[in-house]
Amino acid sequence: MLTPFNFQRWLEEHRHELVPPVGNKNLSPDSEDYIVMVVAGPNARKDYHYNETDEFFFQLEGRITVRTQVDGRVVDHLLEAGDMFLCPAKTPHSPIREAGSIGLVIERKRAGKGFTDGLMWFCDDCNHPLHAAYFELKNIETDFLPHFQTYYNDAQLRTCAKCGTTMDT
Continuous H helices in 33-118: none
What is the C-alpha separation between 39 and 79, in angstroms, rounded? Answer: 14
pLDDT, one tens digit per residue, over 34-71 is: 999 999 999 988 999 999 999 999 999 999 999 999 99
Give the pLDDT band (50/70/90) at residue 1: low
Distance separating alpha carbons of residues 159 and 73, to the nearest angstrom: 19
Residues in the chain: 169
Query: Residue 163 and residue 169: Cα distance in Å, rounded?
Result: 18
pLDDT of 92 reads: 99
The answer to whether 68 and 77 are in contact (CB under 8 A) is yes
For the four alpha carbons of 48, 74, 41 and 85, in that order, the dihedral sign comes to: negative
Give residue-wise pLDDT tens across range 94-144.
999 999 999 999 999 998 999 999 999 999 999 999 999 999 998 877 898
DSSP helix/strand/coil, 82? coil
CATH tag for 7-152 (out of 2.60.120.10, 3.50.50.60, 1.10.10.10, 3.40.50.970)? 2.60.120.10
Q: Using CB atoms within 10 A of its CB, is residue 52 exposed (0-12), middle (13-18) or buried (19+)? A: middle
| Helix H or strand E segment including 77 | strand 73-79
Q: What is the DSSP letter of 149?
A: H
**Running DSSP on this structure, what letter comes out for residue 32?**
S
